[in-house]
Amino acid sequence: MKWLALVSIALVIAAPGAAGAQGRTPTQISPAAPTVGGPSGMPPAPAPGRPARPATSTLADTAPGAPAASPVTSVPSGTPIPSDYVIGPGDVLQISVWKNDTLSRVVPVRPDGKISMPLLHDVSAAGLTAMQLRDKISRALAEFLPNPEVAVAVTDVHSMRVSVLGEVQKPGVLELRGTTTILEAIAMAGGFRDFASPSKITVIRTDAGGQTQKIRFNYNRAVSNGSSDEKNLVLKPGDVVVVP
């Protein structure tokens, strides 16, 4: 009976501790917050889902492109104009009549090929050289003045235009001042590009009657040593040189 009494006492002592344990709520352990900064001395890492900011560049991003060339390239004004130059529309002429400032003037050649002068009104100038036009004006003024002395000079050339297109460095329109060959025109256009076909050049020319002809030109043959098969073609106003 003694051992039963001891068991009863032990149960009575343990009961309050068990009841207290059942009444307490277990402690909740919060997960650690994500680390915002990196290791010591390092910049903070970007937040999840947000791309990192790109490094700043000192150069602006520009789309690549070929340098733009001027649509019209003029021969330097100091280039002499040959005496056999044929006047055309757009050219500028200086007409001097000795001892007559009223008739002396600078006149442009109109699109119809004519110039305007006092007493003579309209005078056809296109298609003539400066000397031929001088003689023409002198004869016309002889009806009004005794022995007129006239001088004609071409000051600005705008009618001698040819185009160089295709695989050249500076395609566009060339404004010439006199006799120009196809080799000179190609040089003025900056020469060939890397993938040009110099042996297959075509010159498109329109004659006075409106007929178009295509003239083949082989650059390689023209510049090769000891070859005279290909002549250095002289260009005419309005010619179009196509380099494939």
**Domain 75-156 CATH (choose: 3.20.20.105, 3.20.20.60, 3.10.310.30, 3.30.1950.10):** 3.30.1950.10
Tens of pLDDT, residue by residue over 199-237, are 999 999 988 778 899 999 999 988 886 556 678 889 988
Q: d(Cα 137, Cα 127) in Å, to the nearest integer?
A: 15
The pLDDT value recorded for residue 67 is: 42
With CA atoms as reference, report the closest residue to 112 among 97, 122, 104, 103: 122
Tell me which H or E stretch contains 93: strand 92-97
| Amino acid residing at 199 | S
Q: What percentage of the chain reaches a pLDDT higher than 90?
A: 45
- Interacting residues of 109 by C-beta distance below 8 A, sequence separation 6+: 87, 88, 89, 90, 91, 92, 93, 115, 125, 126, 159
Residue 11, token pair as written in the block: 């149960």
With CA atoms as reference, report the closest residue to 196 among 243, 151, 153: 243
Average pLDDT over residues 27-44: 47
Q: How many residues does the chain have?
A: 244
With CA atoms as reference, report the closest residue to 136 among 147, 150, 153: 150
**Could you tell me if 91 and 109 are in contact, meaning their C-beta atoms sit under 8 angstroms apart?**
yes
The pLDDT value recorded for residue 73 is: 56
Q: What is the CATH number of domain 161-243?
A: 3.10.560.10
pLDDT band with cut points at 50, 70 and 90 for residue 180: confident
Whether 40 has a pLDDT exceeding 70, the answer reads no
With CA atoms as reference, report the closest residue to 70 among 158, 182, 171: 171
Average pLDDT over residues 10-20: 50
The full set of domain ranges for the chain reads: 75-156, 161-243
Tens of pLDDT, residue by residue over 83-139, are 788 899 999 999 999 999 999 999 999 999 999 999 998 999 999 999 999 999 999
Tens of pLDDT, residue by residue over 68-80, are 444 555 555 556 7
Exposure string of 42-71, with b = 16+ CB inside 10 Å and e = fewer, is eeeeeeeeeeeeeeeeeeeeeeeeeeeeee
